[in-house]
């Protein structure tokens, strides 16, 4: 029950003083937060900050944002200009690209064979990577997360980082229930999909947009905790090739780029997957 509600319901002198005191405290906290936020904003600009990032921050601080307009899409002889029609057209295009028909026959055969293989999650002995998660794993996952846009639930990483010890314990309890009961929340299957136009492409073609899915930060935090265990176990068992740089701690991925660029272009032309 807030002080303003108490004062409105019981307009006594003491309640009025309590309300004024709470209002002054809230004003001081807001000013301090604004000052600290500005200091952190300025301190984030270093010698390594690119001019593009710097101008983006300056425009953001001044409240300058690029105007957004819905693109007019063309599919065959049909023009789509209504927002709902555009969204459905983009969704159909994304589904078409992600469909099994877009893969090569060899990959489809391997995919179907792998999906028919039953998965067994039971083991004769309790393995360490199946233990319940501990608090340091949750804190590590949150500390390594970037401040990305939230998913449909609107929960941001900054909100999770500012949880107190009790709330973090409740969150860890939730993750461990999902882990042990093997019941994945249905809401985590949903995402906000944002279409980004590919560089230099025609904006009227729905196939020229790249879908970016904004999933739940809670879901990504849990996945990051699971991934850390898997990577540790894979490296310990030697399951990851030493020639692979991706997902390998302490390995530089840029060195493999020039040597694999030709294979990537070849795979894109022939619509075949490339093993990195």
Classify 190 as helix, strand or coil.
coil
Beta bridge mates, 254:
none
- How many CB atoms neighbour CB 151 within 10 A? 21
Q: Is 145 in contact with 184 (CB distance < 8 Å)?
A: no
- What confidence score (pLDDT) does residue 187 get? 93
- What confidence score (pLDDT) does residue 221 get? 97
Q: Is the pLDDT of residue 122 over 80?
A: no
- What confidence score (pLDDT) does residue 43 get? 84
For residue 213, give the H/E element and its range: strand 209-214
Q: Is the pLDDT of residue 127 over 90?
A: no
Determine the Cα–Cα distance for residues 140 and 177; give it in Å rounded to an integer. 19
Q: What is the percent of the chain where pLDDT is above 90?
A: 46
Residue 216 has which token pair? 């739940």
- What confidence score (pLDDT) does residue 6 get? 85
Q: Is the pLDDT of residue 272 over 80?
A: no
- What confidence score (pLDDT) does residue 247 get? 64
Which residues, including other chains, have CB under 8 Å from residue 197's CB and lie 6 or more apart? 71, 203, 208, 209, 210
- Residue 257: pLDDT band (50, 70, 90) is low
pTM for the full predicted model: 0.66
* DSSP conformation letters of 64-89: ------PPPEEETTEEE-SHHHHHHH
Residue 140 — φ and ψ, nearest 5°?
-65, -40
Choice between 56 and 270, residue whose per-residue pLDDT is larger:
56
- What confidence score (pLDDT) does residue 64 get? 74
Summarize pLDDT for 138-151 with one digit per residue, the tens: 999 999 998 889 99
- What confidence score (pLDDT) does residue 124 get? 76
C-alpha torsion angle, residues 262, 264, 267, 272 (rounded to 10): 150
Using CA atoms, how far residue 112 sits from 103, 105, 107, 189, 231, in Å, is 12, 11, 9, 22, 26
C-alpha closest to that of 193 among 94, 260, 78: 94
């Amino acid at each position: 029950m807030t002080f303003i509600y108490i004062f409105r319901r019981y307009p006594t002198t003491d309640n009025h003083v309590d309300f004024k005191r709470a209002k002054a405290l809230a004003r001081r906290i807001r000013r301090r937060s604004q000052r600290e936020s500005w200091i952190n904003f300025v301190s984030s600009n270093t010698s390594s900050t690119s001019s593009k990032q710097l101008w983006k921050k300056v425009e953001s601080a001044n409240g300058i944002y690029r105007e957004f307009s819905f693109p007019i899409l063309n599919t065959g002889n049909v023009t789509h200009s209504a927002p709902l029609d555009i969204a459905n057209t983009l969704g159909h295009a994304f589904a078409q690209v992600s469909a099994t028909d877009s893969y090569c026959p060899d990959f489809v055969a391997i995919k179907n064979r792998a999906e028919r293989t039953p998965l067994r999650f039971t083991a004769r002995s309790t393995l360490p990577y199946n233990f319940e998660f501990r608090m340091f794993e949750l804190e590590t996952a949150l500390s390594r997360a970037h401040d990305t846009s939230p998913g449909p639930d609107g929960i941001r990483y900054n909100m999770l980082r500012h949880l107190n010890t009790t709330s973090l314990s409740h969150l860890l309890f939730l993750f461990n229930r999902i882990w042990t009961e093997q019941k994945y929340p249905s809401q985590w299957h949903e995402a906000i999909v944002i279409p980004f136009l590919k560089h230099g492409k025609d904006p009227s073609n729905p196939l020229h947009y790249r879908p970016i899915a904004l999933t739940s930060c809670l879901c990504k935090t849990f996945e990051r905790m699971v991934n850390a265990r898997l990577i540790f176990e894979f490296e310990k068992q030697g399951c990851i090739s030493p020639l692979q740089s991706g997902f390998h701690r302490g390995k530089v991925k840029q060195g493999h780029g020039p040597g694999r660029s030709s294979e990537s272009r070849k795979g894109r032309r022939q619509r075949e997957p490339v093993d990195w």
